[in-house]
Structure 1
Amino acid sequence: MPDAYLFRHALLPTGWTENVRLIVENGVIANLETKMPGGKEIALPGMPNLHSHAFQRAMAGHVERRGTGQDSFWTWRTLMYKLALSMSPEDVEAAATLAFIEMLEGGFTSVAEFHYLHHAPDGTPYADIGEMAARIAAAAEAVGIELLLLPVFYAHAGFGGTAPAPEQRRFLSSLDNYTKLYERCAALAPSGVAPHSLRAATLPEVKALAELAGGRPVHIHIAEQTAEVDACISFSGQRPVEYLLANAPVGPNWCLVHGTHITPQEGAAMAAANAVAGLCPITEANLGDGIFPIQHFSGAWGVGSDSNVLIDAARELQMLEYSQRLAQRARNVMASPAAPCTATALYQAAVAGGAQALGLQGGLRPGAPASFVTLSGENPELALSQSVFCARQPAVRGVWVNGRQVVEDGRHALAQTTRLRFDTMMDRLI
């Protein structure tokens, strides 16, 4: 029997609509009816999380201490390598389970897991080449989040095929063993490919990976740091986004993650290629990356939780808007005359871009997954604005993923036991 859900207000692709009934069958929205009174809550489409490194949830709070010199992304990366070399498959599963629960409680209903911790601590492949990926998939299955698994290709330490560093040994692949890893991942969950960056994959390798993906998602880190931009110019004479777009088959199934340091010309070229800009505002602020110049970009964009230092879909939108306000010295930057409510404009754009990046059909519409979030309140624009800009904790009340309720009254049923498991792991690691 189909399930029916009544909402006082729902955010549809066309905007806010009153008295909506969703008919859900086999996890999909079979029909959507309006002028159906009786609902009390506000429904939002589930937010896709287009970029996550789940194992880094174990770093949250542990690296907020200055070293002897000036701290930067690169000093943070050294600490990340140390963590990566210490975690067992069981540890990765524990961290991913907590991260995925916090995503659901924070309003994300799907996640693109940019997964690069593949091998044993000494760099030896596990007997099951997808051992670590299987742990990620098991965590997602246990908590009920929709997963796009993105096994990462990582072969080099710098532009031009520089030999990898010893501390990168758990990440490394050749094209041959990456193909085996990708096939294993595709058997575990919907999958795409992820050349880590132009530093870690040469252009011929990026092209080979794009061919392997076919029409599936292709995600890549790019132009996150000024040092990366300078190194790319030194190697190729071009900036990273410029170099990639001139030499690789970038299209609508590509997500260019960060893109923090792009020119107006690069922004226009990204939009012309119909690629998604993958923005991770909280992590980009935490790492001191910089601010994505969204005034130079008219294409699709979505948000991701990246290092998982703080997991909350509304907070990502808040950080994005506030960073633009600081950079442009203006208010309500992401709104427009056609979409004057800033929170609504942010939310609609992030859902659409995130869905494109994950290869999903986004929004509350017939044929789309029945993945939605509920808020309380009488005025939907005010409720969403308060959720994004004013709430002291996630305002999410309920979360459904593919027709299954996974969060009730703001909490996931596995939250407490998962946190205890995670804390036990951290006591041992730290």
Structure 2
Amino acid sequence: MIAEIITIGDEILIGQIVDSNSAFIAKELNLIGISVYQITSVQDDKDHILTALKEASERADVVILTGGLGPTKDDVTKYTFTEYFDDKLVLNEAVLKHVEELFEKYKKTPISDLNREQAMVPSKAKVLHNKNGTAPGMWMEQGKKVFISLPGVPYEMKALMEEEVIPGLQEKYDRPFIYHKTILTSGEGESAIANRLAGFEDELPSHIKLAYLPGLGRVRLRLSGKGEDEEELIKSVEKQVEGLYELLGDIISEEQEEDEKIAVQISKLLTERKLFLSAAESCTGGALSAAFTTHPGASSCFKGGLVSYATQAKQEILHVPKELIEKYSVVSAEVAEAMAKNAKKMFKTDYALSTTGNAGPTKGDSDAEVGTVFVGLATPEKTYSKKFIFGNSRDHVVKQSVQKAFEMILKEITSEDRS
């Protein structure tokens, strides 16, 4: 089963927004055995959309469009969709009633003719109820192929995918099973790992593929298999995982659920153990706390964070001794450890992370070179820190600091399982 995704909107092509919809749709399709072979972005232009539909229909079994379904005049997807299938628009009473109810409940203003237009749908389409918005999804079939048009608003699209599209595709098609296994490594780069795995890759069965996914300080290795028998597929992929351990056991840090973020792993482990984390940040400016609390469930293990950006804040709020800063500098192991230790005490947590460094472009309150960062960690038994040099890109320094902080606490938590 092959799918293609077409995202529609000038805002994507000019870089005003990031196309997160395609990533979500592709992941959901993959989970039910449908492989996405191409993603195309086009303008809100009839000719461009028609061309994209025609080309996608020649390659794919399932074509999903997202975007261009709003009430404004530049949203042309519905009309183009109708023209492609040589259809006409008709009033759908259920959609009109839903739009009117939304306006009555949330807008408190009379419904406009433009909003009533949302209830006009192609006569041949199966309407997908959009409980979160006024633009319905549309499902059209042409022979054995399915064409689906979804609104571009992410939360509207996601609900339709989960509640309408995925169940509909599962009912319509027999699909192969797809199984992924992701192994995390640290300590070696992508090219070095590829050299070690050259023979391994040559001997992989044809239904299993290996992908390298380099990230900040780590390389993920993803084995992906596709087959008709789920049990046999899982066995064959797991056998290859054993081969990875034989070849890379010295640098494998853990196995990971597909696309699971390190912050989510930490959150799960802390929650399971009924432990709590806090943070004291300087050079990361709140990025560490933000990265952790972005994910649902963080409140069960994260008590809070403090951004003590200025030296004065470190002294007056975190109670880092002035003498310590004067002796060792604000960017130092000693200050990082004091920050972590005092944050742990202030928030009454089991663990606390701290960051202090020079993210650039100037040195600030320290003579340490730009890119120098100290990450501190206070645990129930000890407090320590590590020094890193991340270069002179401010954004890179912040991201690497957060990543290394997470790696430090993850290693600390999981070491309890190995002891």
Q: TM-score, length-normalised on structure 2?
A: 0.26
- Higher RCO, 1 or 2 (CA under 8 Å, sep at least 6)? 1
Q: TM-score, length-normalised on structure 1?
A: 0.26
